[in-house]
Amino acid sequence: MKISRICAVLILATATFATCNLMVAQDAAAKPKPAPKSPPAVETATIDGKAITINYSSPRVNGRAGKIFAKDGLIGKDPTYPVWRAGANEATTLKTNGELTIGELKVPAGSYTLFVDISDPDHWVLIVNKQTGQWGTDYDKAQDLGRVPMKMEKPKATIENLKYTLESKGTDKGELELSWENLEAEVKLSVK
Protein backbone atom coordinates (compact mmCIF):
# COMPACT_ATOMS: atom_id res chain seq x y z
CA MET A 1 0.00 0.00 0.00
CA LYS A 2 2.83 2.41 0.88
CA ILE A 3 4.60 1.75 -2.43
CA SER A 4 1.46 2.53 -4.45
CA ARG A 5 0.98 5.79 -2.49
CA ILE A 6 4.62 6.74 -3.12
CA CYS A 7 4.19 5.93 -6.83
CA ALA A 8 0.99 7.99 -6.97
CA VAL A 9 2.74 10.96 -5.31
CA LEU A 10 5.71 10.67 -7.70
CA ILE A 11 3.39 10.49 -10.73
CA LEU A 12 1.44 13.52 -9.49
CA ALA A 13 4.68 15.49 -8.82
CA THR A 14 6.08 14.60 -12.26
CA ALA A 15 2.83 15.62 -13.98
CA THR A 16 2.74 18.90 -12.04
CA PHE A 17 6.38 19.64 -12.90
CA ALA A 18 5.80 18.88 -16.61
CA THR A 19 2.68 21.07 -16.68
CA CYS A 20 4.52 23.97 -15.05
CA ASN A 21 7.40 23.67 -17.53
CA LEU A 22 4.94 23.61 -20.45
CA MET A 23 3.15 26.71 -19.12
CA VAL A 24 6.43 28.59 -18.69
CA ALA A 25 7.55 27.61 -22.20
CA GLN A 26 4.20 28.69 -23.69
CA ASP A 27 4.34 31.98 -21.80
CA ALA A 28 7.88 32.65 -23.05
CA ALA A 29 6.86 31.78 -26.62
CA ALA A 30 3.77 34.04 -26.42
CA LYS A 31 5.80 37.13 -25.47
CA PRO A 32 7.31 38.79 -28.54
CA LYS A 33 11.03 39.37 -28.41
CA PRO A 34 12.03 43.02 -28.46
CA ALA A 35 13.58 44.20 -31.71
CA PRO A 36 17.37 44.32 -31.53
CA LYS A 37 18.80 47.79 -30.87
CA SER A 38 21.03 47.42 -33.93
CA PRO A 39 19.23 45.02 -36.26
CA PRO A 40 21.10 43.06 -38.91
CA ALA A 41 21.03 44.45 -42.45
CA VAL A 42 22.33 43.41 -45.86
CA GLU A 43 23.20 45.50 -48.90
CA THR A 44 23.78 43.70 -52.19
CA ALA A 45 24.51 44.82 -55.73
CA THR A 46 25.52 43.13 -58.94
CA ILE A 47 28.02 45.12 -60.93
CA ASP A 48 29.28 43.77 -64.25
CA GLY A 49 27.82 40.37 -63.33
CA LYS A 50 29.70 40.16 -60.01
CA ALA A 51 27.81 40.03 -56.70
CA ILE A 52 28.95 42.32 -53.90
CA THR A 53 27.39 41.98 -50.44
CA ILE A 54 27.82 43.91 -47.20
CA ASN A 55 26.45 42.34 -43.99
CA TYR A 56 26.25 44.70 -41.02
CA SER A 57 24.24 45.68 -37.98
CA SER A 58 22.47 49.02 -38.21
CA PRO A 59 22.59 51.14 -35.03
CA ARG A 60 20.15 54.02 -34.49
CA VAL A 61 20.91 57.62 -33.57
CA ASN A 62 18.21 57.56 -30.86
CA GLY A 63 18.45 61.25 -29.96
CA ARG A 64 22.26 61.24 -29.86
CA ALA A 65 22.79 63.44 -32.95
CA GLY A 66 26.10 65.27 -32.61
CA LYS A 67 27.22 62.86 -29.88
CA ILE A 68 28.27 59.82 -31.89
CA PHE A 69 31.47 60.60 -33.79
CA ALA A 70 33.13 63.06 -31.41
CA LYS A 71 36.21 61.78 -29.55
CA ASP A 72 34.21 61.75 -26.31
CA GLY A 73 31.08 60.47 -28.12
CA LEU A 74 29.57 57.03 -28.46
CA ILE A 75 32.21 55.60 -30.81
CA GLY A 76 35.03 57.17 -28.80
CA LYS A 77 34.26 54.55 -26.14
CA ASP A 78 35.13 51.63 -28.45
CA PRO A 79 38.50 50.04 -27.56
CA THR A 80 39.65 50.38 -31.17
CA TYR A 81 38.88 54.12 -31.47
CA PRO A 82 39.64 55.94 -33.79
CA VAL A 83 39.17 52.79 -35.87
CA TRP A 84 35.44 52.13 -35.93
CA ARG A 85 33.66 48.86 -36.73
CA ALA A 86 31.46 50.77 -39.19
CA GLY A 87 28.29 49.22 -37.82
CA ALA A 88 27.45 47.46 -34.56
CA ASN A 89 27.77 44.04 -32.97
CA GLU A 90 29.66 41.59 -35.21
CA ALA A 91 32.19 43.04 -37.62
CA THR A 92 30.80 44.42 -40.87
CA THR A 93 31.64 42.06 -43.74
CA LEU A 94 32.22 42.61 -47.43
CA LYS A 95 31.94 39.65 -49.78
CA THR A 96 32.71 39.86 -53.48
CA ASN A 97 32.74 37.09 -56.06
CA GLY A 98 34.83 39.19 -58.42
CA GLU A 99 38.02 41.23 -58.09
CA LEU A 100 37.31 44.80 -57.01
CA THR A 101 39.23 48.02 -57.04
CA ILE A 102 38.01 50.20 -54.19
CA GLY A 103 39.49 53.64 -54.70
CA GLU A 104 43.03 52.59 -55.64
CA LEU A 105 43.02 49.39 -53.56
CA LYS A 106 42.94 46.03 -55.38
CA VAL A 107 40.63 43.62 -53.53
CA PRO A 108 40.68 39.98 -54.72
CA ALA A 109 37.43 37.99 -54.75
CA GLY A 110 36.63 36.79 -51.23
CA SER A 111 35.39 37.91 -47.82
CA TYR A 112 36.71 40.82 -45.78
CA THR A 113 35.87 42.96 -42.77
CA LEU A 114 35.27 46.69 -43.13
CA PHE A 115 36.41 49.27 -40.59
CA VAL A 116 36.68 53.05 -40.88
CA ASP A 117 39.39 55.28 -39.45
CA ILE A 118 37.49 58.34 -38.22
CA SER A 119 40.42 60.13 -36.54
CA ASP A 120 39.87 63.08 -38.91
CA PRO A 121 36.10 63.73 -38.94
CA ASP A 122 36.35 65.44 -42.34
CA HIS A 123 38.48 62.74 -44.00
CA TRP A 124 37.45 59.19 -43.17
CA VAL A 125 39.50 56.26 -44.40
CA LEU A 126 37.89 52.92 -45.31
CA ILE A 127 39.88 49.93 -44.04
CA VAL A 128 39.58 46.57 -45.80
CA ASN A 129 40.76 43.90 -43.37
CA LYS A 130 41.50 40.23 -44.20
CA GLN A 131 40.40 38.86 -40.80
CA THR A 132 36.76 37.69 -40.80
CA GLY A 133 34.27 36.26 -38.34
CA GLN A 134 35.27 38.41 -35.38
CA TRP A 135 33.30 40.70 -33.08
CA GLY A 136 33.27 44.28 -34.35
CA THR A 137 35.68 45.61 -31.75
CA ASP A 138 38.31 42.95 -32.51
CA TYR A 139 40.56 44.82 -34.91
CA ASP A 140 44.02 43.64 -35.94
CA LYS A 141 45.88 46.25 -38.01
CA ALA A 142 48.35 43.58 -39.17
CA GLN A 143 45.45 41.99 -41.09
CA ASP A 144 44.70 45.13 -43.15
CA LEU A 145 44.59 44.53 -46.89
CA GLY A 146 44.66 48.30 -47.31
CA ARG A 147 43.11 51.70 -46.69
CA VAL A 148 41.18 54.01 -48.98
CA PRO A 149 40.27 57.70 -48.48
CA MET A 150 36.52 58.38 -48.54
CA LYS A 151 34.72 61.43 -49.89
CA MET A 152 32.72 63.10 -47.10
CA GLU A 153 29.41 64.95 -47.33
CA LYS A 154 26.83 66.35 -44.93
CA PRO A 155 23.29 65.03 -45.48
CA LYS A 156 20.34 67.43 -45.59
CA ALA A 157 18.85 65.81 -42.49
CA THR A 158 19.95 63.45 -39.72
CA ILE A 159 20.20 59.84 -40.90
CA GLU A 160 18.60 57.82 -38.07
CA ASN A 161 19.63 54.30 -39.18
CA LEU A 162 23.18 53.46 -40.24
CA LYS A 163 23.01 52.40 -43.87
CA TYR A 164 25.34 51.03 -46.51
CA THR A 165 24.48 51.57 -50.15
CA LEU A 166 26.09 49.82 -53.12
CA GLU A 167 25.17 51.43 -56.41
CA SER A 168 26.03 50.57 -60.00
CA LYS A 169 27.44 53.54 -61.92
CA GLY A 170 27.89 51.95 -65.33
CA THR A 171 29.06 48.67 -66.77
CA ASP A 172 31.89 47.89 -64.36
CA LYS A 173 31.79 50.87 -62.00
CA GLY A 174 30.00 51.48 -58.74
CA GLU A 175 29.98 53.30 -55.46
CA LEU A 176 29.96 52.23 -51.82
CA GLU A 177 28.34 54.71 -49.43
CA LEU A 178 28.11 54.65 -45.64
CA SER A 179 25.56 57.03 -44.10
CA TRP A 180 24.71 57.70 -40.47
CA GLU A 181 23.87 60.57 -38.15
CA ASN A 182 25.21 63.75 -39.79
CA LEU A 183 27.77 62.22 -42.17
CA GLU A 184 27.91 60.41 -45.48
CA ALA A 185 31.11 58.82 -46.75
CA GLU A 186 31.56 57.29 -50.17
CA VAL A 187 34.20 55.62 -52.26
CA LYS A 188 34.26 54.64 -55.93
CA LEU A 189 34.78 51.04 -56.94
CA SER A 190 35.16 49.02 -60.08
CA VAL A 191 34.84 45.33 -60.89
CA LYS A 192 37.27 43.30 -62.94
Tell me the residue range of the domain where 96 lies: 40-191
pLDDT for 39 equals 97
pLDDT for 29 equals 59
Are both 166 and 186 inside the same structural domain? yes
pLDDT digits (tens, 9 = 90+) for 13-24: 555 554 545 455
pLDDT for 8 equals 53
Residue 120 near residue 89, CB atoms below 8 Å: no
Domain count, the chain: 2
pLDDT for 35 equals 78
- From 23-37, 61-75, 130-144, the region with the lowest mean pLDDT: 23-37
Are both 98 and 168 inside the same structural domain? yes
Are both 3 and 67 inside the same structural domain? no
138 three-class SS: coil
Are both 92 and 176 inside the same structural domain? yes
Are both 68 and 5 inside the same structural domain? no
pLDDT digits (tens, 9 = 90+) for 31-61: 777 878 899 999 999 999 999 999 999 999 9
Are both 25 and 90 inside the same structural domain? no
pLDDT digits (tens, 9 = 90+) for 71-104: 788 998 889 999 999 999 999 999 999 999 999 9
Range 152-157, long-range pairs (CB < 8 A, 24+ positions) = 152/122, 152/123, 152/124, 152/183, 152/184, 152/185, 153/183, 153/184, 153/185, 153/186, 154/182, 154/183, 154/184, 155/179, 155/182, 155/183, 155/184
Please give the share of the chain, as a percent, with pLDDT higher than 70: 84
Are both 89 and 161 inside the same structural domain? yes
How many whole angstroms separate alpha carbon 72 and alpha carbon 81? 10
Q: What is the pTM of this model?
A: 0.82
Are both 101 and 172 inside the same structural domain? yes
Banded pLDDT at 152 (limits 50, 70, 90): very high
User: Mean pLDDT across the chain, nearest whole number?
Assistant: 89
| CB-CB neighbours of 125 under 10 Å | 20
How many whole angstroms separate alpha carbon 35 and alpha carbon 161? 14
How many whole angstroms separate alpha carbon 57 and alpha carbon 136? 10
Banded pLDDT at 25 (limits 50, 70, 90): low
- From 49-53, 67-71, 110-114, 150-154, the region with the lowest mean pLDDT: 67-71
pLDDT for 169 equals 94
